[in-house]
């Protein structure tokens, strides 16, 4: 029977030789994809519901060949893919992949462990602790954030998960002091530029949505949170009998990469006993470079710090890095200890069980890919990776500055340029003009950019960060922007 199965070519659940044969084909397919990635429209041009028309309405009863499946990927799936790794992708923020990240992901998939506690795979827990300490040292985070201090690092899925777990830890910590009945009085603070994941965390955490303060910013501070505005809000709330407990500051906001003043905000938070979280999801990678490290000055005042290795550090999604100063706050909030998970190492407090540092129980061996990225590129290789993108963004900023029809809206700090097409004298609708320019550029399929709104103005964002992007791709994007601008202005 076994011989019949082999001769018929049926794919078994896991067979070493079949894996070798099929994985080679898959690697070839992926390598060919990257070789031809520039030929695809960056932004998928399909219409909603396109795939339903192309695929059968029920699963196959009998096995199909890998060749058949890959043909469908080529013909039916790829048209519906927006190519985040395309060198012509300048939207949102980057989501880097790399050979090292891919190899680490492959190895993790091969082992397929579920490493929720130390005993379920000691290497998974210990490697995670080690690589997070490596990066804490490279970022010059205070010793409290290291595993040898009172805190330590953990890999979350996304920055949204990171802010949620520290918000819950902060919530429970303050409620242990003021009593659980005080939950409706708890106040969180952030600027109006803070990522929307904080508001979602507040919703999940059962906080009063009216007490999630979104503090106004403007161009006078380059959209950074003013310490005076924060301090006044805290004083007002205390006077009203409310309980300030959580502040989220950002190093590199989504809209414009604004940098909140960490030292000043941190000092206020400390005096008022407010948990201080720093979100550097995007810009944290750049802060590995000595010339950008000063943007983390004041992180010593923080209770938690987060950056996404999967954004700009050549580590495939998902890999969000969170450090806390006091791991006991996290564990007290998130720990469960059912009988079926008990073991000597955990009961004896000899090990870290990362299940108690996160929302789900199960967790993948994500530290493998981060470890491989750090070893195969080295810190200096990673620094040069971000420097290259920052230089390309500075080059694009210069191009914008040379065309009087455009203006740069906020100062460029990292690899994001915020800019606008200026309307001619006979029209004032700047927002419509820039919205039309965005649609016109993205409809070409040759480049993909996104937008934001600052002070009521519709602003175009050009984020350099795809691993394959070179100067020629920036030149092409700028040429398309100029051509579409010329056509739009000519039609007015």
Contact 314, 385 (CB under 8 A): yes
* Residue 291 scores a pLDDT above 70: yes
What CATH number is attached to the domain comprising 347?
3.40.640.10
- Alpha-carbon separation of residue 153 from 34, 53, 107, 320, 367 (angstroms): 33, 46, 22, 10, 11
Q: Which residue has the tokens 């009988």?
A: 339
102 inside domain = no
pLDDT confidence of residue 9: 66
Per-residue pLDDT band at 52 (split at 50, 70, 90) = very high
- Alpha-carbon separation of residue 369 from 19, 89, 127 (angstroms): 21, 23, 11
Q: How many domains does the chain have?
A: 1
Mean pLDDT for 253-258 is: 93
Half-sphere exposure of 276 (CA within 13 A, CB side): 22
Considering only CA atoms, which of 176, 170, 205, 202 is closest in space to residue 276?
170
For the segment 365-407, what is each residue's pLDDT rounded down to a tens digit?
899 999 999 999 999 999 999 999 999 999 999 999 999 999 9
Query: DSSP string covering 254-278, please?
Result: TTT--B--HHHHHHHHHHTT-EEEE
Within 278-352, residue ranges assigned H as helices are 309-312, 327-334, 344-347
pLDDT confidence of residue 156: 95
- Please state whether the peptide bond connecting residue 99 to the residue before it is cis, i.e. omega within 30 degrees of 0: no
17 inside domain = no
* Residue 1 scores a pLDDT above 70: no
381 inside domain = no
Contact 34, 97 (CB under 8 A): no
By DSSP bridging, strand 320-324 and strand 304-308 are: antiparallel
Mean pLDDT for 201-214 is: 92
Contact 423, 457 (CB under 8 A): no
pLDDT confidence of residue 2: 40
Q: Which residue has the tokens 């409706």?
A: 184
Mean pLDDT for 412-416 is: 96
In angstroms, the first-to-last Cα distance of the chain is 75
By DSSP bridging, strand 186-191 and strand 212-215 are: parallel
- The burial of 210, by beta-carbon neighbours within 10 Å (0-12 exposed, 13-18 middle, 19 or more buried), is given as exposed
Mean pLDDT for 145-154 is: 94
* Residue 350 scores a pLDDT above 80: no
349 inside domain = yes
* Residue 341 scores a pLDDT above 80: no
pLDDT confidence of residue 6: 41
% of the chain surpassing 70 pLDDT? 97
410 inside domain = no
CB atoms within 10 A of CB 13: 5
By DSSP bridging, strand 457-463 and strand 450-454 are: antiparallel
53 inside domain = no
pLDDT confidence of residue 462: 97
Q: Which residue has the tokens 């690589």?
A: 131
Q: How far apart are alpha carbons 398 and 407 in whole angstroms? A: 10
- Pair of tokens at residue 268: 């206020």
DSSP tag of 448: B
Q: How far apart are alpha carbons 444 and 439 in whole angstroms? A: 9
Mean pLDDT for 271-299 is: 96
pLDDT confidence of residue 7: 40
236 inside domain = yes
pLDDT confidence of residue 13: 83
DSSP tag of 230: H
Q: How far apart are alpha carbons 481 and 458 in whole angstroms? A: 16
Least confident of 3-7, 96-100, 252-256, 320-324: 3-7
Per-residue pLDDT band at 429 (split at 50, 70, 90) = confident
Least confident of 157-166, 225-234, 279-288, 423-432: 423-432
Mean pLDDT estimate for the chain: 92
Q: How far apart are alpha carbons 271 and 169 in whole angstroms? A: 19
Residues in the chain: 492
Give the predicted TM-score (pTM) of the model: 0.92
Mean pLDDT for 270-286 is: 96
Considering only CA atoms, which of 90, 74, 65 is closest in space to residue 33?
74
Domain that holds residue 124: 114-363
- The burial of 63, by beta-carbon neighbours within 10 Å (0-12 exposed, 13-18 middle, 19 or more buried), is given as exposed
223 inside domain = yes
- Alpha-carbon separation of residue 279 from 196, 405, 406 (angstroms): 12, 35, 31
Mean pLDDT for 129-156 is: 95
Mean pLDDT for 52-73 is: 94
CA angle in degrees (0–180, nearest 5) for 123-125-129: 110
CA angle in degrees (0–180, nearest 5) for 385-387-392: 100
- Pair of tokens at residue 242: 């409310």
Is residue 22 within a helix (H) or strand (E), and if so which, with residue range? helix 16-35
Considering only CA atoms, which of 175, 184, 173, 197 is closest in space to residue 275?
173
Q: Helices (H), strands (E): how many in the chain?
A: 15, 11
* Residue 428 scores a pLDDT above 90: no
C-alpha of 474 from chain center:
23
Contact 389, 374 (CB under 8 A): no
Q: Catalogue the long-range contacts made by 291-297 (C-beta closer than 8 Å, 24 or more residues apart).
A: 292/414, 293/139, 293/140, 295/251, 295/252, 295/259, 295/413, 296/139, 296/140, 296/141, 296/251, 296/262, 297/262, 297/263
């Amino acid at each position: 029977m076994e011989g019949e199965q082999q001769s018929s070519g049926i794919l078994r659940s896991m067979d070493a030789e079949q894996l070798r044969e099929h994985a080679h084909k898959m690697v070839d397919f992926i390598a060919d994809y990257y070789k031809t990635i520039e030929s695809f429209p960056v932004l998928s041009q399909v219409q909603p519901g396109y795939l339903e028309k192309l695929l059968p309405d029920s699963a196959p009863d009998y096995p199909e060949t890998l060749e058949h499946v890959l043909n469908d990927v080529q013909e039916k799936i790829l048209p519906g893919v927006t190519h985040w790794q395309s060198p012509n992708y300048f939207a949102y923020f980057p989501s880097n992949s790399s050979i090292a990240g891919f190899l680490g992901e492959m190895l993790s998939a091969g082992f397929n462990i579920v490493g929720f506690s130390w005993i379920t795979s000691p290497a998974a827990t210990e490697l995670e602790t080690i690589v997070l300490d490596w990066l804490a040292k490279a970022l010059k985070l205070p010793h409290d954030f290291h595993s040898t201090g009172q805190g330590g690092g953990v890999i979350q899925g996304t920055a949204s998960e990171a802010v949620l777990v520290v918000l819950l830890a902060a919530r429970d910590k303050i409620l242990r002091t003021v009593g659980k009945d005080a939950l409706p009085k708890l106040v969180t603070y952030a600027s109006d530029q803070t990522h929307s994941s904080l508001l979602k965390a507040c919703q999940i955490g059962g906080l009063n949505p009216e007490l999630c303060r979104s503090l106004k910013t403007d161009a006078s501070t380059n959209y950074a949170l003013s310490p005076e505005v924060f301090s006044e809000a805290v004083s007002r709330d205390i006077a009203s009998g409310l309980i300030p407990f959580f502040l989220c500051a950002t190093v590199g906001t989504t809209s414009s990469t604004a940098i909140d003043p960490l030292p000043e905000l941190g000092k206020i938070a400390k005096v008022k006993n407010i948990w201080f979280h720093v979100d550097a999801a995007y810009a944290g990678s750049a802060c590995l470079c000595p010339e950008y490290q000063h943007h983390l000055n004041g992180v010593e005042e923080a209770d938690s710090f987060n950056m996404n290795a999967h954004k700009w550090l050549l580590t495939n999604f998902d890999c969000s890095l969170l450090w806390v100063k006091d791991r006991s706050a996290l564990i007290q909030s998130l720990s469960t200890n059912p009988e079926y998970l008990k073991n000597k190492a955990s009961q004896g407090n000899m090990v870290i069980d990362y299940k108690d540092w996160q929302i789900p129980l199960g967790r993948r061996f994500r530290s493998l890919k981060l470890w491989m990225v750090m070893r195969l590129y080295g810190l200096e290789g990673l620094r040069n990776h971000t420097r290259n993108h920052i230089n390309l963004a500075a080059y694009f900023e210069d191009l914008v500055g040379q065309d009087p029809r455009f203006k740069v809206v906020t100062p460029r700090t990292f690899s994001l340029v915020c800019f606008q097409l200026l309307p001619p004298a006979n029209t004032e609708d700047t927002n419509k003009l820039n919205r039309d320019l965005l649609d016109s550029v993205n409809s070409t399929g040759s480049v993909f950019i996104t937008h934001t709104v600052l002070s009521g103005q519709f602003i175009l964002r050009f984020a350099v960060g795809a691993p394959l992007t070179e100067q020629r791709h920036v030149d092409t994007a700028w040429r398309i922007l100029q051509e579409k601008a010329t056509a739009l202005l000519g039609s007015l």
